Amino acid sequence: MIRTRFTEMFGIEKPIAQGGMQWVGTAELVSAVANAGGLGFLTALTQPDPVALGNEIARCRTMTDKPFGVNLTLFPSINPPDYNGYAQVIIDSGIKVVETAGTPAIAEQWAMFKAAGVKIIHKCTSVRHALSAERKGVDAISIDGFECAGHPGEDDIPGLILIPAAADKVKIPMLASGGFGDGRGLVAALALGADGINMGTRFCATVEAPMHDGIKQAMVTNDERSTELMFRSYRNTARVAKNAVSTEAVRIERSGEPFESIAHLVKGTRGKEGLVNGDPEHGIWSAGMVQGLIHDVPTVKELIDRIMAEAEGIIQQRLARLAA
């Protein structure tokens, strides 16, 4: 058994988290992660309003009696959602841990969570942002390397450098995120100074993930080259699966066109439709370089058990033999 500051702080069995993912972080996946001994996060903004989030939390509790959390991410927006409403529902529902990300304005929700005794794991893409969050009182950090799906930041620092660089300076527990999908990655993260791993894309390719099998099989078929970096010129870089839509959007962006020229290609509703109908070419969907390490679609329990067995085998056999 591998025990770390992360497992101790959050009362879980295994140092593996399933981060919040738009359209994917629902009760089916989150409860499966919890039941397998990890820490899963419902995605607040997948739910249309705070009331719906409260219902989803309640539904998740019918599927597991183990700890789980909620992700709340703040996006720059002209018409922002009711973030305080979502935060209050998280508090009123008795959730004990949140994963946060996004703009500095998240400090308003942090104050709400801290006053209610809710522990905060904040996602960062740089050491300076991690240190800032630590100074502001978060309980743990998830440090996202350049390999990750979604938003890897603008510094382009891969995990092999970013994780130990953060570990040298951050004193609170830290998860490594971006490029993790097997036991080798877990051992590497621990060796680099992290207290566990946070996986997104790898959990998408599981039986319980609420997306069409066509998308899951695309991840199995894809390799580590099968992503695109979008929105680079808009200083809001996003890593998504490479397909005809993302390639065209990147081509238009690189020609100097404004965001409005690609908005119809990258809108979230179009991406959600693809996750439902199973057509990997329908719209934009997030995926990381870890696709190159995805070779099957197991259950969540099979995946987590396999990762832990691999990691323990590497530590007890290969590394011990090398040390001897």
Q: What is the pLDDT of residues 155-201, one digit of tens each?
A: 999 999 999 999 999 999 999 999 999 999 999 999 999 999 999 99
Rounded Cα distance, 224 and 101, in Å = 25
Contact at 8 Å (CB) between 280 and 215? Answer: yes
* Ordered alpha helix ranges (H), 136-200: 159-167, 183-192
Distances in Å between the alpha carbon of 305 and those of 29, 139, 225, 294, 308? Answer: 16, 27, 27, 16, 5
Rounded Cα distance, 174 and 178, in Å = 13
Q: What is the mean pLDDT of residues 202-225?
A: 98
Q: What is the mean pLDDT of residues 14-23?
A: 96
Instruction: Determine the pLDDT at residue 320.
Output: 86
Stated pTM of the model: 0.96
Rounded Cα distance, 242 and 186, in Å = 26
Identify the helix (H) or strand (E) that includes residue 321: helix 320-323
Which residues neighbour 245 within 8 Å (Cβ) at sequence distance 6 or greater?
265, 266, 270, 281, 282, 283, 284
Tell me: the pLDDT tens digits for 28-60? Answer: 999 999 999 999 999 999 999 999 999 999 999
> From the CA atom positions of the chain, what is the Rg in Å?
19
Q: Looking at the predicted structure, is the pLDDT value of residue 295 above 80?
A: yes
Range(s) within the chain of domains with CATH label 3.20.20.70:
5-210
Rounded Cα distance, 190 and 174, in Å = 10
User: Average pLDDT over the chain, rounded to whole?
Assistant: 97
Instruction: Determine the pLDDT at residue 183.
Output: 98
Which residues neighbour 138 within 8 Å (Cβ) at sequence distance 6 or greater?
100, 110, 120, 121, 122, 172
Tell me: the pLDDT tens digits for 124-139? Answer: 999 999 999 999 999 9
Q: Does domain 5-210 have CATH number 2.120.10.10?
A: no
Instruction: Determine the pLDDT at residue 79.
Output: 87
At 324, is the pLDDT very low, low, confident or very high (cuts 50, 70, 90)? confident
